[in-house]
Structure 1
Amino acid sequence: MLPTTVFIHPLRQLALLLRKIYQYDAALLESALTPEQFPLWQQAQTAIGFSLRACCPLCEQGKPEFGQPRPSWADLQQQIHLTIEFLQSLKAEDFAGWQQKRIETMAGFAELELTGEQFVYLYALPNFYFHCSMVYAIARAQQVPLSKADFDGWHQYPAGFSFLR
């Protein structure tokens, strides 16, 4: 499985999640869980960026910049669309030997040197899902009616279902 594959489905889910949040309350774009954390728009943009940050060095491509400095809801949707298109354009031969490639990156102020496999599975994917989860958490903290199915696209629950009943 190519590294791009693990990002495309969750990016599509992120687009759906952002649509639901926007429809509930367009003002939530600037909401954050706490004042010192990124707002929703930046959490989304960081998640999207991690999919590119993960895949581009593995196939020795420059990371395209699709984001806007302070994106609107439409800008985030466009960024997801362009990112998915880009990821889909990458070919298997572009990733030859990706698991063993040496990847140097920064994690905050920490300098890391990882194999491609470590980089994807132990660094990029956890960070990608962390920021996707923050989008979901901010929305839930603002009372947006979402379920696990909105996050992952797989779960199904009957209307009105609650684990607390």
Structure 2
Amino acid sequence: MLPNVLFIHPLRQMAMLLQKIQRHDAALLESALTAEQFPLWQQAQTAIGFSLRACCPLCDQVKPEFGQPKPGWADLEQQIHLSIEFLQSLKAEGFAGWQQKRIETTAGFAQLELTGEQFLYLYALPNFYFHYGMVYAIARAQQVPLTKGDFDGWHQYPEGFSFLR
């Protein structure tokens, strides 16, 4: 499976998750788990950005900038839409040899040099899912009624189901 394909399904799920969060309480864009963590909007924007940050160096493309400095709900929806369109436009031949490419990047203040395979599987995907997971966690902490299925698009549970009952 090519790297770009790995991000399309979860980006679509994030779009649906964000719509559900917005319908529940549009003010949650500014909510965070703790005062020193990014708010929901920035967690979402960072996850979206990681999909592009992951794929572009692996296929020798310049990372497009779709983000607003402080986006609203519609901006996040547009960023996801444009990111999916961009990822779908990437051709398989552009990824030739991606596993062995040398990728230089930063992780916080650390300078990294990784193979494409290490970069994707050990750095980019974990970071994408970390920030996407924070969106879910912030929403759940604010009592938005979400399930694991809202996050991954696969699990299904009846309304009101709880593992604790």
Matches within 5 A, 1:22-101: 22-101=22-101
- Which residue of the partner structure matches residue 159 of structure 1? 159
SS class of match (2:8) = helix
Alpha-carbon shift at residue 115 of structure 1 (Å) = 0.3
SS class of match (2:160) = coil
Residue 106 (1) aligns with residue 109 (2): no
Structure 2: stretches of 5+ with no match in the other structure? none
SS class of match (1:12) = helix
Counterpart residue type for residue 155 of structure 2: H
Counterpart residue type for residue 53 of structure 1: R
Q: TM-score, normalised by structure 1?
A: 0.99
SS class of match (2:38) = coil
1:94-114, Cα deviation, whole Å (9 max, x unpaired): 101000000000000001000
Counterpart residue type for residue 75 of structure 1: D
Alpha-carbon shift at residue 160 of structure 1 (Å) = 1.7
Counterpart residue type for residue 94 of structure 2: D
- Which residue of the partner structure matches residue 7 of structure 1? 7
SS class of match (2:121) = helix
Q: TM-score, normalised by structure 2?
A: 0.99
Matches within 5 A, 1:116-131: 116-131=116-131
Alpha-carbon shift at residue 50 of structure 1 (Å) = 0.3
* Partners of 1:160 and 1:39 in 2: CA distance: 27
* Partners of 2:110 and 2:62 in 1: CA distance: 22
Counterpart residue type for residue 97 of structure 1: G
SS class of match (2:78) = helix
The percent of aligned pairs where both chains have the same amino acid is 85
Matches within 5 A, 1:133-144: 133-144=133-144
- Runs of 4+ in structure 1 displaced over 6 angstroms? none
What is the root-mean-square deviation of aligned Cα atoms in Å?
A: 0.4
* Partners of 2:110 and 2:39 in 1: CA distance: 23
Say how many residue pairs are matched.
165
Counterpart residue type for residue 155 of structure 1: H
Counterpart residue type for residue 21 of structure 1: I
* Partners of 1:40 and 1:98 in 2: CA distance: 32
Counterpart residue type for residue 110 of structure 1: A
Counterpart residue type for residue 12 of structure 2: R
Counterpart residue type for residue 143 of structure 2: Q
